[in-house]
Structure formats: structure tokens, C-alpha cells
Amino acid sequence: MPTDIETQLKIFKQGTVDFISESELALKLAKKRKLRIKYGADPSTPDLHLGHTVPLRKLRQLQDLGHQIVFLIGDFTARIGDPSGRSQTRETLSASRVRQNARTYARQVFRILDRKRTEVRRNSEWFDEFRPEEFMNLASRYTVARLLERDDFSKRFTAKQPITVLEFLYPLLQGYDSVAVRSDVEVGGTDQKFNLLVGRELQRDWKQEPQVVMTLPLIEGTDGQEKMSKSLGNHIAIGASPDEMFGRTMSIPDSLMIRYLHYVTDLDDSEVEKMERELESGALHPREAKARLAQELVRFYHGASKAKAAEERFNKLFREKKLPDEIEEVVLSKSLLNNGSVDVVTLLKEAGLTASKSEARRLIQHGGVKINESRAVSVDQRVSFEAPVVVQCGKRKFARVRVS
């Protein structure tokens, strides 16, 4: 572990948005001990995505300084659902579904973190043992007025959108996690700032030294509008196949490339800044920059050979066939599939490529539909979804269709 506090402070602060506070962290580092650095994720769905990797990459950087990472799986709080940034109440999840999702989280996180140097905890360890009076004690630590200071709660309250009492409890539960694991530092997205600050206050109540709070940027999803989210379907899962990861990356708006290169790849800032200058001057084509981004991501999660093969398959389908790179992505519900496939008429209608099934049948009968560049020959033809498929209707309508 570096003994130079200034060097460590610089590494801790790199890429952060909020840092509360540098002076407190300097005092902790001066004690020359491993700091307990907490990051929590609720297993609301099975997959971690690139948005999660922004804090995970930061954690690996701090882990390499010699500090102790505490990866907290919110298997208890996932049953409530984090209200941060939400305009409506989340669906509550069953305990069995949460357990199943949690198992996949524990596996995926070690694509980035060092398993041997990571302490994995679940907040059901303490909340399943909480007695009613302990919940009452926790709930008494914060007023409703204080909770309504949260921007998302305030907006929903003003708009007369329902807020459950359970949602009000969420920041307190997340804050208590910091007490339970005796966190020195907590890392999270900018949308978690309120919850992380609650942790500081609760630690004071429990006579602990308050944690330092570090927030990192949220990255937008493939739609270029909303933050990357599994529930919005605009995410790139780190467990996606090489072809899906490459294709989904190539579908992002050009405006996101530099943010992604900075926050979700291993490229040095100097190299990313060079690419940014070349894009602005026209020396580098956006498509080539995006292909580099896709290559870096697939290489990191699947290896160099699979990254090269994914790019070759993408180029064969899109560049050699002269299909547009940026094709709208459509997500179909898995419930539409029968034994992994769907009939082409339903596919066209559900993907929004035709207004009706009768229009879909007419297009197919007149030879106007292609699936992965192969012409659809029958209205009874079925399409499998081992990987996303590119559907073309007429000369100008395209969609890249995958199954949720």
C-alpha cells in the first residue's frame, strides 16, 4: 500500500463527482490501515450491466491500493426496491427471486474485483434478525420532512404520486448497512448521494466514525437519454454474449462514445482524449471509434479472440451487406416465444415494423422482408433468438430485435 497520502488521495478522487470529504479521508489514511470500502447493489434482476462497472472499476483501483472492498448484496432491500430516481413505486420482489438473482451477482462481480480480496456480505444477515423494536429505533432516527428533502420523493409528493412508507424506510436501511459492516468509505452513483449521507448520520448515532462518501457519474443507456437501467431495457449486460455486446455497443449514439471510453474501458485518459480530438477534427470516423469501444468491451469480458470474431461477424452482416450501423433496437417479451422462436408475422407486428399482422403477411408474400439478410419465404416461418436478429422491411425499415 502506498504510504504517500497525497498519492492515495489523488487516486481516490479521480473521476468522482461528490467527495465528502477529503480532509476526513486524509485522517483515515494517516492511520496506515486498510480502509473498509463499501459498495452495495440490489439484485432486482439477474444481470449486472456496464452502469454497475463504473463504481466496480473504481473499487478495483482502490483494491489494488491494498484496501478492503466490501461488496454488499442488498438481498433484503431488493424486496422493497430502491426508490432513488424513480417517479413511481417499484414492484416488490419475492425472496426466492431475489436469492436467485443474488447468486448471479456474486459470480459476475468477480469479472472485475479480485475474489480473494473482496468481502461479500448480504444485508439479510442482519435485517432478517431485526426485532420490531430495532426497526422502530431505526425509523425514529429520521423525520418525514428530512426524507422529503430528497429530490425524487419531493417531486412525487408535489405531483401527488404515491410514496409508500416502505420506500421511506429504504434510505435508513441502506444507511444502516454502513453501520453493520463498519464502512470507512462508501462508493455509489450520483443518484445515491442522499442514501450515502444517511449512512454517515447513522454511523454517528451508533458511535462510529462517519464514512467518507464518494459518488461517480451515471452513464446513459443505449437510448442516449435515460440512465442505464435493467428495468428500462437500455443496458448492456456484462454477461451478454460477444455478439450481443458488440452489436449493442455499436448501436449507441455517437454522443456517448467518449463517456463510455472514459468510464467503462481500461483505456488511459490520454488515449481517450486523443481519440476525442481526432473525432472533432475528422481524423477519426465515429464508426471506427465505436468499433474500438466495442472491441475493448468484448475483449475485457470475453477475451481478444472472441472480440475479433464478434467484430468480423458484425462487419460481415452490416458493412459488407451495406446495412446501417445504427439500427433501432427492439426488445420482445420472452412470453412471445415458443421453444425459443416466434413466427415471423408476430415478430414484425410486435417489433413495430408493421401496423398489423395482415400487413406483415402481405410484405412477406411480396418478398419484402429479410431476417439477417435472408429473405422470409413463408408467413409460417419461425425465427429463433439464440442471438439478436436484424429484420428489414422494404428498403428503409430496420430493427435489431432481441428477447428480454
pLDDT at 214 over 90: yes
How many Å from the N-terminal Cα to the C-terminal Cα in the chain?
44
**Domain-wise residue ranges, the chain:** 5-216, 242-318, 329-403
- Cis geometry, peptide bond prior to residue 305 (ω within 30 degrees of 0): no
Residue with cell 460481415: 316
**CATH (residue range 329-403):** 3.10.290.10
| 399 contacts 329 by C-beta, under 8 angstroms | yes
Average confidence score pLDDT of the chain: 87
pLDDT in the model for residue 88: 47
Task: Decide if domain 242-318 falls under CATH 1.10.240.10.
Answer: yes
CA distance 369 to 373: 9
Residue with cell 429504504: 170
Among 133-137, 257-261, 400-404, the least confident range: 400-404
pLDDT at 255 over 50: yes
Q: Characterize the bridge pairing of strands 212-216 and 185-189.
A: parallel
CA distance 172 to 193: 13
- Region 118-140 average pLDDT: 93
Cell of 243: 455478439
Two domains, one topology: 5-216 and 242-318? no
pLDDT at 3 over 80: no
Report helix angle 269-281 to 286-302, nearest 10.
150
Residue type, 169: L
CA distance 260 to 252: 10
Q: Which CATH number fits domain 5-216: 3.40.50.620, 1.20.1600.10, 3.40.50.2000, 3.90.1150.10?
A: 3.40.50.620
pTM: predicted TM-score of the whole model, two decimal places: 0.75
**Which of 166-175, 213-222, 353-362 reaches the highest mean pLDDT?**
213-222
pLDDT at 84 over 60: no
CA distance 248 to 236: 7
Percent of the chain with pLDDT over 70: 93
